[in-house]
């Protein structure tokens, strides 16, 4: 006689403190923030999805294929990326079912990971799933989710409202015409707020394939001669203004290091011209990029865009996979990171400037208390971003709070950043952050280091106030 499938449930006290007294405090704090609207200041959801408002294709497209958190651990468990549909565009029904089966049949590899937490929250709270994914339940679960995806209640716009998203920031190329954002803004039936984010990384990494063509296109779009360094700078300034006019509040920068050493104008122009003809050394390319990041900070002091800087990662570590499947496919690997000396040129110039808001992220946990917290504890322009990417996990966030709070408290942080491409994981990620912060604050109350009314104020501020202030929302 076949055994009954294991149930899938989520506990109301998940992630809250184990100690009963502290847990009771955490419950009260969590209750004050659990149903607040979501402010998402940085992520990678495609705004065209909300313009078209067509049903999601299938469970694999929603949960597996676009989410490198999911595919990387499956790949490490011996599942080829091609079997998961990575980099292949829309999948056939058979291929989508097989990708979903692979997730379900490897469900045990996600034990103890934040991916398991997010997926369970989504399956139970959004799709009313009651049995645990497995090889035996995969097809039934696929049909169950697909049936719901075919209804109007599960279209992107309906889910946007259901998730209580008050602001959703996307990540956009400087050459993007932002037509999807314009369409949403002009649609009287759309009441949500979706704003672009200026992401110029590809135009700063001068030795990357296709860079010269990219800056030529940038010049065309901006109406600027990018044959010179001055023209490149002018083109960037023009596109930033274009984004700001269409609602942008921040510029996002991700590079291997946080270097910001300046070049004199003549040297910057020389290196830029050399880069256009692929005549720069790797060392010169890094020097030019670091100078350009400094220039971006200068632009933020003038146009007001919040500057986020996330460093310390080697992107596309497995070059064969990058060449075959593209970027963001699960093999970006953390590096050791430094901020104190690399950021000094930027901070000496702009660290006390009233118009600069610089949010720092790193994957290197050793930098939290050693460098980041002391910098944010002195410079008015510096804020600390909650761990993201590999570190947006319960213990990582707890370690981050413990490492920085004694130096900077809560006011020098920037609110939660979900950084997700998986649309349905947004509420689960934000809920995780609210539970963890409630638990951290509850411990301070239990230790008589904070009064409970102050903990309530802080919990509310971490969910809404910090993000609204730092990202000017």
Q: Are 273 and 219 in contact (CB under 8 A)?
A: no
Domain span at residue 60 reads 56-154
From 88, 120, 154, give the residue that closes a domain: 154
Q: Please report, for the domain that includes residue 90, its CATH number.
A: 1.10.2020.10
- Please give the Cα distance from 105 to 137 (Å, whole number): 9
Same structural domain for residues 178 and 132? no
Beta carbons within 10 angstroms of residue 299's beta carbon: 20
- Report the C-alpha gap between 403 and 156 in whole angstroms: 38
CATH of the domain at 458: 3.20.20.140
Q: Are residues 109 and 241 in the same domain?
A: no
pLDDT score recorded for residue 2: 55
Same domain, 150 and 177: no
In a domain, 20, yes or no: no
Does any domain span residue 123?
Answer: yes
Burial of 57 (0-12, 13-18, 19+ CB in 10 A): middle
- Quote the pLDDT of residue 11: 97
**Same structural domain for residues 380 and 269?**
yes
First to last CA, the chain: 58
Would you say residue 90 lies in a domain? yes
381 plus 275 within the same structural domain: yes
User: Does residue 303 belong to any structural domain of this protein?
Assistant: yes
Q: How many domains does the chain have?
A: 2
Phi, psi of 256 (to 5 degrees): -65, -35
141 and 230 together in one domain: no
Q: Check whether residue 225 and residue 345 sit in a common domain.
A: yes
* Res 181: pLDDT: 98
Single out the residue in 111, 134, 154 at which a domain terminates.
154
Kindly state whether residues 141 and 233 are assigned to the same domain.
no
Domain contains 233: yes
Residue where a domain terminates, one of 154, 174, 195: 154
Are 233 and 250 in contact by the 8 Å Cβ rule? The answer is no
Here the tokens at position 443 are 């411990």
Q: Does residue 46 lie in a domain region?
A: no
Residue 10 lies in a domain: no
Q: Are residues 213 and 252 in the same domain?
A: yes
Shared domain check, 198 and 113: no
Q: What is the pLDDT along the chain (473 residues), one digit of tens a residue?
A: 457 899 999 999 999 999 999 999 999 999 999 999 999 999 999 999 999 999 999 999 999 998 888 999 999 999 999 999 998 888 999 999 999 999 999 999 999 999 999 999 999 999 999 999 999 999 999 999 999 999 999 999 999 999 999 999 999 999 999 999 999 999 999 999 999 999 999 999 999 999 999 999 999 999 999 999 999 999 999 999 999 999 999 999 999 999 999 999 999 999 999 999 999 999 999 999 999 999 999 999 999 999 999 998 888 899 898 888 888 888 888 889 999 999 999 999 999 999 999 999 999 999 999 999 999 999 999 999 987 777 888 999 999 999 999 999 999 999 999 988 889 999 999 999 999 999 999 999 999 999 999 999 999 999 999 999 999 99
User: Does residue 148 lie in a domain region?
Assistant: yes
d(CA 123, CA 111) in angstroms, rounded, equals 16
Same domain, 169 and 150: no
* Residue 130: half-sphere exposure toward Cβ, Cα within 13 Å: 1
Long-range contacts, stretch 240-245, CB < 8 angstroms, 24+ apart: 240/174, 240/198, 240/299, 240/303, 240/305, 241/303, 242/178, 243/172, 243/174, 243/178, 243/196, 243/197, 243/198, 243/305, 244/303, 244/304, 244/305
- For residue 1, the model assigns a pLDDT of 42
Distance CA 105, CA 135 (A): 4
- One domain for residues 178 and 326: yes
Quickly list DSSP for 149-169.
HTSGGGSHHHHHHHTTEEEEE
């Amino acid at each position: 006689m076949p055994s009954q499938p294991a149930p899938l449930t989520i506990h109301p006290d998940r992630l809250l403190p184990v100690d009963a007294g502290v847990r009771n405090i955490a419950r009260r704090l969590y209750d004050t923030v659990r149903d607040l609207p979501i402010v998402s200041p940085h992520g990678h959801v495609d705004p065209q999805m909300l313009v078209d408002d067509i049903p999601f294709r299938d469970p694999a497209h929603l949960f597996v294929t676009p989410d490198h958190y999911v595919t990387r651990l499956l790949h490490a468990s011996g599942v080829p990326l091609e079997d998961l549909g990575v980099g292949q565009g829309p999948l056939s029904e058979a291929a989508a079912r097989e990708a979903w089966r692979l997730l379900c049949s490897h469900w045990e590899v996600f034990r103890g990971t934040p991916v398991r937490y997010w997926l369970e929250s989504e399956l139970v709270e959004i799709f009313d799933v009651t049995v645990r994914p497995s090889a035996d339940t995969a097809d039934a679960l696929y049909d169950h989710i697909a049936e719901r995806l075919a209804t109007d209640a599960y279209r992107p716009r309906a889910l946007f409202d259901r998730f209580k998203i008050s602001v959703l920031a996307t990540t956009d190329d400087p050459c993007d015409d932002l037509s999807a954002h314009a369409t949403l803004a002009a649609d009287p039936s759309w009441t949500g707020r979706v704003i672009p984010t200026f992401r110029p990384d590809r135009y700063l990494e001068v030795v990357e394939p296709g860079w010269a063509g990219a800056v030529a296109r940038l010049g065309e779009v901006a109406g600027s001669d990018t044959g010179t360094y001055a023209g490149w700078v002018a083109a960037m300034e023009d596109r930033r203004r274009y984004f700001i006019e269409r609602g942008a509040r921040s510029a996002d920068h991700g590079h291997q290091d946080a270097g910001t050493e300046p070049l004199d104008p003549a040297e910057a122009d020389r290196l830029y011209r050399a880069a256009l003809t692929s005549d720069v050394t790797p060392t010169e390319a890094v020097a030019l990029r670091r100078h350009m990041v400094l220039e971006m900070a200068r632009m933020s002091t003038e146009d007001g865009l919040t500057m986020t800087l996330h460093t310390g990662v080697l992107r596309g570590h497995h070059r064969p996979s990058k060449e075959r499947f593209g970027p963001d496919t699960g093999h970006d690997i953390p590096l050791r990171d430094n901020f104190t000396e690399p950021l000094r040129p930027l901070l000496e110039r702009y660290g006390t400037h009233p118009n600069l808001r610089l949010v720092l992220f790193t994957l290197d946990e050793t930098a939290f208390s050693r460098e980041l917290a002391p910098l944010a504890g002195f410079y008015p322009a510096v804020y600390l971003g909650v761990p993201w990417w590999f570190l947006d996990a319960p213990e990582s966030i707890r370690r981050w709070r413990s490492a920085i709070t004694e130096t900077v408290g809560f006011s020098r942080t920037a609110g939660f950043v979900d950084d997700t491409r998986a649309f349905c994981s947004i509420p689960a990620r934000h809920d995780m952050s609210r539970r963890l912060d409630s638990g951290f604050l509850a411990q301070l109350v239990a230790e008589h280091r904070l009064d409970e009314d102050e903990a309530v104020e802080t919990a509310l501020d971490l969910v809404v106030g910090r993000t609204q202030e730092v990202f000017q929302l």
